[in-house]
Amino acid sequence: MQALRLARPRALPRPFLARSIAAASPAHATAAAPVAPHLPPEPIIPLSNVEAQWERLSPDEQLAVHQQLEELQKKDWKTLSIDEKKAAYYVAFGPHGPRAPTHKPGDTVKLLLGTLAGIAVAGGVFAWFRSRAPPPPRSLTKEWEEASNELAREQKMNPISGISSEGYKGKGFVTHK
């Protein structure tokens, strides 16, 4: 159907156009809406399937559907079929043009997967960098820090308020738990 549409040149004469559309959806071609008898013959665009076709119709064909529906809605609304009512509603207020939804149905999953993939890649890069990093310096061990404390007390470093003062409760240079 897509290929049919792509192969169809834009400037085809009207009757052929109409026939090609009817042929494109043979199941609905027979359900074409009855047009009021006093009207000139319009291109047959089945109203039963207007929702599916609307985006693909050319502006001319959309205009034809508009006019067809305009005439239909002048009749008593009780005589309209449900398909004609749906077509009238869809063309006026359906989700196309400015009322098209911002996201298509599958978009949420796509966004979620994309975000998770991004986070996973970032985590992978981080882990790879960490795995190739040199080990931490030897002065960052607990033993080294305790030895630093001993040296500081030996040398009476900061005797008034710091590590060598009386009753000192702090940890001094030890940063490890």
* Residues within the interface to other proteins (CB under 8 A): 70, 73-74, 76-80, 82, 85-86, 88-89, 91-93
Nearer to other proteins, 13 or 97 (CB): 97
CB of 25 to other proteins, least distance (A): 20
Please answer whether residues 140 and 174 qualify as being in contact, where contact means their C-beta atoms are separated by less than 8 angstroms: no
Nearer to other proteins, 77 or 128 (CB): 77
What DSSP line would sit under 33-89, residue for residue?
PPPPTTSPPPP---GGGHHHHGGGS-HHHHHHHHHHHHHHHHS-GGGS-HHHHHHHH
CB of 92 to other proteins, least distance (A): 3
Q: SS3 for 103?
A: coil
Task: Give the whole-angstrom CA distance, residue 104 versus residue 51.
Answer: 16
Nearer to other proteins, 89 or 128 (CB): 89
CB of 39 to other proteins, least distance (A): 15
